[in-house]
Amino acid sequence: MKMPLHPATLQFAPDGTPRSDLFDDIYHSADGGLEQARHVFLGGNDLPERWRGRDRFVIVETGFGLGLNFLASWAAWREDPARSRGLHFISCELHPFRIDDLARLHAHWPELAPLAARLRAQWPVLASGMHRLHLDEGRVYLTLYFGDVREGLAQIDASVDAFFLDGFSPAKNPVMWSARVFHLLSRLAAPGATLSTWSVAAEVREGLRRARFFVEKAPGFGGKREMLRGTLHPQARARQPSLPPVLRQAVIIGAGAAGTAVCERLCARGWEVDIIDSADGPGRGASGNHAGVLRPQPSLDDNRMSRITRAGALYAWQRIGKALASGTKLRAAACGVFHLARDAEQETKMRAVVERLALPEELLRQADAIEATEIIGWHVPHGGWFFPGCGWVQPPSLCAANLAAFPDRVRTHWSCSVASIERRGEYWHALTKDGRTLASAPVMILAAGVGLSGFSQAQNVPLFSARGQVSVLPSATGSAPRIVVCQGGYVTPEVDGLRCAGASFDVGDSDPAPRLIDQQANLAKLESILPGYTKGLNAATLGARVGFRPVSPDRLPLVGAVPIDGQSRYPGLYILSGFGARGLAWASLTGELLVSHIEGEPLPLERELADAMNPGRFFRTPKAGTLHELQ
């Protein structure tokens, strides 16, 4: 379990330099923070010269602090006409600043104001784990790890070109300069990787030397006479970078939440994509509900499911917020989500989860029955979890918005059924029943939901179908509930005169027709959530929609190359599926994760969590799971 974060407290030394009471040290040289960043970290790593002409350049920093090193790097990259195609900046921070404190600090460097404002506009919720931000029209990737630097470096999956060692002084914060940290840096280092730091302490030099870095002193900045520069030893075992594909072309089968999410992420990197679906438009299958819930799923032990769902929900709302700000027709609202307790005993357990996780209140807080009643607009007997920044999304509109983000890079193939796929030379072909090629490309992504089992190459991937029936209720504008409410089931606010309630989840049930018994079960769930709400509602006259959700044996997504067996993978063939009932929470982040895999980029998620979603994981366990285990 990740430890709760404790944000930094803004303090200043007598000369106005930002300082930390916790570490009794200053954040940057009193001679100037921006100048120090440029001299010690950019100059110490021979930047911008070393990123010129590269497809991408990767920097890892050991302490984000005020963000000055990142802002200085970003500014220098923008000003360089020969810059790399993309810039990845990965930074660890145990005590991140709150956004208001960052604004006060950034005000000292007006020359960075435009970039600093863009950074703060995407500043993530201060929750433990990894957060990816997309800046400068998607060409700059800032990946922040909030937590202990030793955990962060162990979880980063990247081939790193330059290291910025910028912690508090070794005497004040020895963890940041430990042998463990130095060896983790060496594990990530690409051939020819460099490092720089203002510290020239003997234990730092010796620790880096033992980690196979060649280090030397160089002229320091301001009142500090010397600094340290280093290069990975030529005979050290370097992390070989993965080369990006020569041809950025892909075929995606399936235009639901998964397929359209990965399509948008590919197109953002300049890919050309053919996307194929048997329906007449995007989001017609399992992603076709009128409205769905998008929020995390906390747990007392903060298990992998919870961490992936939290990271996915935060990333999804970041992307949705950006899309809404751009004027897209995406339908979504962060109106808030309330997860009510069934009884007093469960309410006590839910409060224990909130207290243990200690997440920021803008993400999760506990509320009692009185407050819950006020927020929801309907009397409820118990309180529970309130997610203020979450809400509902209309999945078909999200799918359409994903495809509309880069219309010149997407070719859609509607009402087209793919009977089989075949690799011919370096290209994968999507074939009709009569053998005609619908589209071909070096990369193919199977995002066809439960249709995955129809492809022979995916027979080794265990996937089950779960039938879900949602009830649709006519609703007056402004009627209760005003937010999404969950408890065993869910009910949404009114959206265009309708609200959704449900839903069933029946593994192995293939009946496509709405059933009265499921309508009645959905109304029973709704009555449990909001006592008295179903009075006068007739299950037989309500609207309904049935969809089939793809579910993996361990309920985690399937993200990565399609396995042939326990050792090998099909070249250029990938899967994105297994979302179950969490498609909205997982689609955006797993789309970014899969594209990062394909491009050979640093991953946007902890290595442990990425490995937990690898489709080949079932070959590493003695048992893949059974239908009985999913019930």
In the chain, what are the domains? 11-232 (3.40.50.150), 249-285+396-462+555-630 (3.50.50.60), 319-389+464-551 (3.30.9.10)
pLDDT of residue 16: 82
Q: Calculate the CA 490 to chain-centre distance.
A: 24
The pLDDT of 538-558, averaged and rounded, is 96
The pLDDT of 418-442, averaged and rounded, is 97
pLDDT of residue 619: 82
Q: Which of these, 131, 141, 27, 122, lies nearest to 84 by C-alpha position? A: 141
Residue whose pair of structure tokens reads 């993965």 in the numeric block: 242
pLDDT of residue 620: 65
Give me Rg for the CA atoms of the chain: 26
Q: For the residues of 520-560, what is the DSSP string, one character each?
A: HHHHHHHHHHSTTTTTT--GGGSEEEEEEEEE-TTS--EEE
pLDDT digits (tens, 9 = 90+) for 316-339: 999 999 999 999 999 999 999 999
pLDDT digits (tens, 9 = 90+) for 158-215: 999 999 999 888 888 999 999 999 999 999 999 999 999 999 999 999 999 999 999 9
Low-confidence winner among 143-147, 190-194, 325-329, 390-394 (lowest mean pLDDT): 325-329
Cβ(473)–Cβ(533) under 8 Å?
no
Show Cβ contacts of residue 82 under 8 Å, excluding neighbours closer than 6 positions.
48, 52, 53
pLDDT digits (tens, 9 = 90+) for 52-76: 999 999 999 999 999 999 999 999 9
Pairwise CA distance, residues 611 & 605, whole Å: 10
* Percent of the chain at pLDDT exceeding 90: 88
pLDDT of residue 1: 66
Residue 627 has pLDDT above 80, yes or no: no
pLDDT digits (tens, 9 = 90+) for 579-602: 999 999 999 999 999 999 999 999
Listed in sequence order, the DSSP H helices in 326-414 are 344-357, 369-376, 395-404
Residue 629 has pLDDT above 80, yes or no: no
Find the angle CA(299)-CA(518)-CA(536) to the nearest 5 degrees.
100
Cβ(142)–Cβ(132) under 8 Å?
yes
Residue 424 has pLDDT above 60, yes or no: yes
Pairwise CA distance, residues 376 & 373, whole Å: 5
Q: Which helix (H) or strand (E) holds 586?
A: helix 583-599
415: left (phi over 0), alpha (psi -120 to 50) or beta: left
- The whole-chain average pLDDT of the chain stands at 94
pLDDT digits (tens, 9 = 90+) for 72-128: 999 999 999 999 999 999 999 999 999 999 999 999 999 999 999 999 999 999 999
Find the angle CA(598)-CA(603)-CA(604) to the nearest 5 degrees.
120
Confidence of residue 294 (pLDDT cuts 50, 70, 90): very high
0.85 exceeded by pTM = yes
Residue whose pair of structure tokens reads 């081939």 in the numeric block: 159
pLDDT of residue 624: 41
Q: Which is it for the CA torsion 235, 237, 239, 244, positive or negative?
A: positive
Residue 631 has pLDDT above 60, yes or no: no
Q: Which of these, 156, 27, 162, 182, lies nearest to 95 by C-alpha position? A: 27
Q: Which of these, 419, 447, 456, lies nearest to 434 by C-alpha position? A: 419
Confidence of residue 482 (pLDDT cuts 50, 70, 90): very high
Residue whose pair of structure tokens reads 């460097």 in the numeric block: 109
Pairwise CA distance, residues 224 & 258, whole Å: 52
Residue whose pair of structure tokens reads 């969590």 in the numeric block: 609
Residue whose pair of structure tokens reads 């109106």 in the numeric block: 335
Burial class (CB in 10 A: 0-12, 13-18, 19+), 422: middle
The 3-state DSSP composition of the chain as helix, strand, coil percent (nearest 5) reads 35, 25, 40
pLDDT of residue 623: 45
pLDDT of residue 31: 72
Pairwise CA distance, residues 91 & 59, whole Å: 8
Residue 157 has pLDDT above 50, yes or no: yes
Three-state secondary-structure class, residue 404: helix
Confidence of residue 10 (pLDDT cuts 50, 70, 90): confident
* Percent of the chain at pLDDT exceeding 70: 98
